[in-house]
Amino acid sequence: MSELAIPPNVGHESLAAEPAARTARAGRRRKLRFGLSMRVLVLNTAFVMIAATMIYVPAISIYRSYWLHNRLSAAYTAALVLEAAPSAMTPPELSRQLLDSVGARVIVLNMKGTKRILASSDLPPAVDAVYDLRTQSLGDVPLEAIETLFAPSGRVITVLGAAPMGGDAVAITMDEAPLKRGMEAYSRRLLIMTLVMSAIVAILATIAINIMVLRPVRRLTDNITEFGADPENAARIIEPSGSEHEIGQAEAALAVMQESLVRELNQKKHLAALGLAVAKINHDMRNMLSSAQLLSDRLANVTDPLAQRIAPKLVATLDRAIRFCQATMTYGRAVDEPPKPRRFLLRPLVEEAIESVGPLAAGHIEFVNDAPERLEVCADPEQMFRVLVNLLRNGVEALQSAGSAPGWPAEIRIAARERLGPYDGRPAGGPAAKGATGAPAGRAETIIEVSDSGPGVPDSARAKLFAAFFTADRAGGTGLGLVIASDLVRAHGGSLTLAPPATASAAEPPGAKFIITLPLHPAASEATASSRFENAPL
Ligand SMILES: Nc1ncnc2c1ncn2[C@@H]1O[C@H](COP(=O)(O)OP(=O)(O)OP(=O)(O)O)[C@@H](O)[C@H]1O
Ligand SMILES: [Mg+2]
């Protein structure tokens, strides 16, 4: 079988000439084929031999029974000949011929109380064993057969059987040697037949198992190895055979897994390239922004009242942009710095975000800041500003591209409140228990809702909304805004979700509503940045 596995034209030299990986693969394949095929062959042969052994004892017992019954029939015929003889005296020549034809030394026929004896001149001194076939039980048959096989040679036995036609019994005394020889010859024939049969069955079974099991398994293994060597190559994804059996199902499952792996890896490559590009852009952008900041500083000296009003905002915005570029460059990748939470009033930050996005709306959209005057949040203000700006920009873009829902003015609303979340096992009187609500132990959260009166997010887009690069026909959109916002909120130990669509009867507009949930007191462990870029679903 091992020869089957090694192509005859592949010598050691040509193997050595191949790349190392391929040689190793070929070696592993040879070993695999040899091992499994040979094992299957040996096992099959062993099983057939066991089956043959199990039928051997009954077969040889039946052979012996037939043999003895044949002799008894022949003896009976001989006895009939005796009956037909004209006188009680049988010629010695006829007696000898009759005994020879039966292969017996003595024949006794017991008929209606009368015994007829036919004996040869060389009577045995003693009989070694007597077998009465009339009283033989089923269990005696194989035992007597085995006894005959292993008996010492030269035994003389007497066999008794039923006499037909009203006779009581026929008994023959004979040498056991011819019976023994017959049984041994029969055993030899049986052994040869068994060997031939087991070889044929084992080869057929091995071929079948090779085709049905080993070959598909080998194909799977080879594919896994080849795919593992180049997991980004979609051409190496296994092509499922479409079979319904377990290996076919394994192939289909492997294909699905490989497809998603290829996608993930290509996505990661894409993101790595993007990260590099962002780092480069950041570098140059920071330089340009620094120049712009120098120029804007000079605006502060202009006496024009408009310039006086705009200059500080311009300087602050440029400052923020430069800090962001700097932070990204420090990390060298598109991963945000861990947040530095502190308590601050939310309302002014929302106001700042609205001012930043306001010019985009060109006065066509009303921004409503519903954050309570005194509501404080504990977060990184820089990062929360970026989250709010991303959500507000999305609202503006949605309203500009599709307009507001019928019967609703174009409006973006930011509302906020504190709520006591479900009990989270923190000890009563701990930080969460002392939330602004003064409620008993439980996890207090700040909820910030950014809603608009635009078209809302279609059901088909909901599942992929927070996946990197998902954007719905939005010119200039990169599909990263929500991923960035969600990453930043998660780094605070919070979450960014899209509320279910409002019902038609609700008092709220049917547009999109994004909900930011922030813990009132973010735990240190929760404030660890972990970018969704690294595991964003596709
Ligand atoms: N308020 C909203 N109303 C309707 N659809 C929205 C809204 N916010 C987000 N979306 C949908 O979610 C998609 C993803 O938004 P995301 O901010 O991640 O990317 P983007 O706005 O397309 O591009 P950018 O990276 O420039 O922000 C959008 O393309 C849009 O289809
Ligand atoms: Mg966006």
Per residue in 472-527, pLDDT tens? Answer: 766 556 677 888 899 899 999 999 999 998 776 667 788 999 999 999 876 543 43
Q: Does residue 155 have a pLDDT over 90?
A: yes
- Neighbouring C-alpha atoms within 13 Å toward the C-beta of 304: 7
Say if residue 87 is in the same domain as residue 23.
yes
Say if residue 304 is in the same domain as residue 395.
no
Say if residue 116 is in the same domain as residue 8.
yes
Among 411, 451, 471, 478, residue to substitute to test ligand 1 (most atoms within 8 Å of Cβ): 471
**pLDDT top residue among 275 and 1:** 275
State how far the Cα of 172 lies from the Cα of 351, in Å rounded to an integer. 124
pLDDT at 439: 38
Query: pLDDT category, 410, cuts 50, 70, 90?
Result: very high
Q: Is 398 in the pocket of ligand 1 (CB under 6 A)?
A: yes
What residue owns the CA closest to ligand 1's atom 7? 394
Q: Is 474 in the pocket of ligand 1 (CB under 6 A)?
A: yes
Indicate the residue among 229, 259, 283 that finishes a domain.
229
Among 408, 474, 514, residue to substitute to test ligand 1 (most atoms within 8 Å of Cβ): 474
Indicate the residue among 332, 365, 386 that finishes a domain.
332
Say if residue 161 is in the same domain as residue 99.
yes
Range 257-264, long-range pairs (CB < 8 A, 24+ positions): 258/227, 258/231, 259/234, 261/231, 262/231, 262/232, 262/233, 262/234, 262/237, 263/538, 264/538
Q: For residue 394, which atom of ligand 1 is closest to its CA?
A: 8
pLDDT at 459: 87
Say if residue 252 is in the same domain as residue 339.
no
Ligand nearest the Cα atom of residue 482 = 1
pLDDT at 45: 81
**pLDDT top residue among 152 and 88:** 152
Query: The domain spanning residue 395 has which CATH number?
Result: 3.30.565.10
Domain ranges, residue 275: 231-332
Say if residue 368 is in the same domain as residue 474.
yes
Q: Is 314 in the pocket of ligand 1 (CB under 6 A)?
A: no
Of 347, 211, 332, nearest to 279 by C-alpha is 332
Range 493-500, long-range pairs (CB < 8 A, 24+ positions): 493/518, 493/519, 493/522, 493/523, 493/526, 493/527, 494/445, 494/518, 494/519, 494/522, 496/387, 496/466, 498/457, 498/462, 498/465, 499/449, 499/451
Q: Is 465 in the pocket of ligand 1 (CB under 6 A)?
A: yes
Q: For residue 511, which atom of ligand 1 is closest to its CA?
A: 3
Say if residue 477 is in the same domain as residue 353.
yes
Say if residue 377 is in the same domain as residue 315.
no
Say if residue 215 is in the same domain as residue 244.
no
Q: Is 216 in the pocket of ligand 1 (CB under 6 A)?
A: no
Label each residue of 274-333 as H, E or C.
HHHHHHHHHHHHHHHHHHHHHHHHHHCCCCCHHHHHHHHHHHHHHHHHHHHHHHHHHHCC
Task: Provide the number of structural domains found in the chain.
Answer: 3
Among 387, 388, 482, 483, residue to substitute to test ligand 1 (most atoms within 8 Å of Cβ): 482
Say if residue 426 is in the same domain as residue 492.
yes
Indicate the residue among 312, 332, 352 that finishes a domain.
332
Percent of all residues in the chain with a pLDDT value above 70, rounded to a whole number: 78
Say if residue 339 is in the same domain as residue 383.
yes
**pLDDT top residue among 291 and 446:** 446
Q: Does residue 10 have a pLDDT over 80?
A: no
Say if residue 30 is in the same domain as residue 152.
yes
Q: Does residue 428 have a pLDDT over 50?
A: no
Q: For residue 480, which atom of ligand 1 is closest to its CA?
A: 25
